Amino acid sequence: MKLKTILLSALLLTSASMADDMALKQEGVKYIKMLGGALKTQLKEKMKEDKSGLTALAFCTGSADKITKEVNTKLPEYATVRRTSIKVRNDKVNAPDATDKKVMEQFEADIKAKTLAPKTIVMVKEGDITRIYKPLVTKSVCLKCHGSNLDPKIADAIKSAYPHDKATGFKEGDLRGVIVAEIKNH
Ligand code: HEC
């Protein structure tokens, strides 16, 4: 092959795999939004309904995992979506693995250095699986159940449902966790 042809094929290959990555990223973001959207809409409604946060807390406790499973049944069989955190509340279903931890530690470092772009999405390829991560930054509404100095009723309800809860003490702007979509080559 002539050099020009080789270079051209290399260029085409690179742009083809870049296009594949773009498509994967878009697909992952779609699943992330399905889960994030379902949880956020309902959380907002419940917080409006009852300002104490107790109704919303009961909703998260009773339904977050159920909603996550429901959203997963709507995805193609090669894909999943879930939430995790370094400091988890529900360690039964949301515990992070080593890759999750590495990505979240990087997000935390970026937040500290003030370099985390608002719409950051990180892709990690492992074997035939691509993971797509979206950081969840703590907002003021999250503090009612994830902040410091919780209302004693909220604190009690959390303690009885999650005896190993680690998900308090967050401040606005802290990394609360991530939503991660996993897409298998297909
Ligand atoms: C009304 C209380 C409440 C509010 C407000 C709330 N959460 Fe939670 N959060 C919970 C509960 C309860 C769980 C555990 C759900 C479960 O059992 O799966 C949870 C779990 C999570 C998890 C999954 C990881 C883990 O720790 O188990 C993430 C991520 C999370 N919350 C982020 C947020 C963010 C971001 C906000 C603000 C936009 C927020 N939460 C607001 C109660 C709340």
CA–CA distance, 55 with 58 (Å, rounded to integer): 5
The per-residue pLDDT for 159 is 97
Atom of ligand 1 nearest to the CA of 84: 24
Task: Give the other-Cβ count within 10 Å of 120's Cβ.
Answer: 13
Amino acid at 153: K
Residue-wise pLDDT for 151-170, tens only, equals 999 999 999 999 999 999 99
CA–CA distance, 104 with 139 (Å, rounded to integer): 17
Confidence of residue 2 (pLDDT cuts 50, 70, 90): confident
Q: Whose CA is nearest to atom 41 of ligand 1?
A: 142
Confidence of residue 11 (pLDDT cuts 50, 70, 90): confident
Q: Which residues have C-beta atoms less than 6 Å from ligand 1?
A: 53, 56-57, 60-61, 64-65, 83-85, 88-90, 93-94, 136, 138-139, 141-142, 144-146, 167, 176-177
Expressed in angstroms and rounded, the spacing between residue 75 Cα and the centre of ligand 1 is 22
Q: What is the mean pLDDT of the chain?
A: 95
- The stretch 54-72 carries a mean pLDDT of 97
Confidence of residue 93 (pLDDT cuts 50, 70, 90): very high
pLDDT at residue 3 tops 90: no
The per-residue pLDDT for 9 is 84
The per-residue pLDDT for 17 is 87
CA–CA distance, 55 with 60 (Å, rounded to integer): 9
pTM of the model: 0.94
The per-residue pLDDT for 12 is 85
pLDDT at residue 1 tops 80: no
Expressed in angstroms and rounded, the spacing between residue 161 Cα and the centre of ligand 1 is 13
pLDDT at residue 14 tops 90: no
User: Dihedral of CA 109/131/171/119: which sign?
Assistant: positive
Atom of ligand 1 nearest to the CA of 91: 27
Confidence of residue 7 (pLDDT cuts 50, 70, 90): confident
Residue-wise pLDDT for 15-59, tens only, equals 888 889 999 999 999 999 999 999 999 999 999 999 999 999 999
Atom of ligand 1 nearest to the CA of 88: 26
pLDDT at residue 96 tops 90: yes
Residue burial 84-119, b: 16+ Cβ < 10 Å; e: rest: bbbbbbbeeebebeeebeebbeebeebbeeeebeee
> Hey, where are the domains in the chain?
26-184
What distance lies between CA 39 and its chain's CA centroid?
12
